[in-house]
Amino acid sequence: MKLYLILLLPFVLFAQKPQLLLLQVYKDQNITNWVMSEKLDGIRAYWDGKQLISRGGKHIYAPKFFIKDFPPFELDGELWSKRDDFENISSIVRDKVPSEKWKEITYNIFEVPHAKEGLLKRLEKVKPYESDILHVIVQREVNSKDELFRFLSVVESKGGEGVVVRDPNVAYIDKRTSKALKLKSFKDAECRVVSFNHGKGKLANMMGSLTCRLDNNATFKIGSGFTNKERMDPPKVGDIVTFKYQEFTKYKKPRFPVFLRVRYKGSDL
């Protein structure tokens, strides 16, 4: 029994989710003298000094050429190629046998977990390791709400997802925090698919809607935003999907949810 536990332990450690910084939503907070950056729509990845791990705690099979010059300390960032390319990024990064397509991917750093001092000093640690693959995301000082929204407008006009705004003076935080906020022109969230519902009328023989569950255990249906191709081959039970909505009801359910994409497949990241 002791031998069995010893053999099992490395797998248990490997499967642990990293404790990382998580964003709250911008709601007109005072962000004077904070910093802002584009929110990249890729796959988040944590570098523990030896390997890349997904936010969910699973190994990312990056090729050796990709990680060979990474620093020996922790990093947190986004595996990304270009704007409006999430499906391609996801297919490359999820592949358990890394392909040549990894040459399209870069690792874009927005945090150095557990490093000392403020955000900008933490990111300075990464500068000597920058390359064609490893980038530090540029942080711009923001002095007013108008400046923040102008930047958001520029990012979205180029096909970007949104903006992240952060207090650069706080120490590293490994949980959801009001010191790091996301801003988009629409609200979005993630939910887990628990079932799908058959369509009727012109949607007969296709998926009509998904039943999803939020982290607060509220369930609701998403019936719009799907292409016919997605209705013929809908997300699977267990997948995490991203949707946009107007607001939450008093019952903590989203009003007018619209499907955007599959964020994580249940068996993957």
8-state DSSP, 104 = G
Burial class (CB in 10 A: 0-12, 13-18, 19+), 71: middle
Q: How far apart are CA 157 and CA 24, in angstroms?
A: 23
What does the H/E/C string look like for 50-69? CCEEECCCCECCCCHHHHCC
Q: Are strands 22-25 and 176-183 parallel, antiparallel or unpaired?
A: parallel
Distance separating alpha carbons of residues 98 and 60, to the nearest angstrom: 9
Q: Which of 39, 101, 221, 253 is catalytic?
A: 39
3-state SS assignment for residue 112:
coil
b/e per residue 42-66 (b: at least 16 CB within 10 A): bbbbbbeeeebbbbeebebebeeeb
Question: Cβ distance 196 to 211 under 8 Å?
Answer: yes
**Tokens in use for 2?**
């002791």
- Is 39 an active-site residue? yes
Torsion angle of the four alpha carbons 219, 223, 228, 229, in this order, in degrees rounded to the nearest 10: -20
d(CA 8, CA 18): 19
Write the CB contacts of 91 (distance below 8 Å, at least 6 apart in sequence).
none
Q: Which residues are catalytic?
A: 39
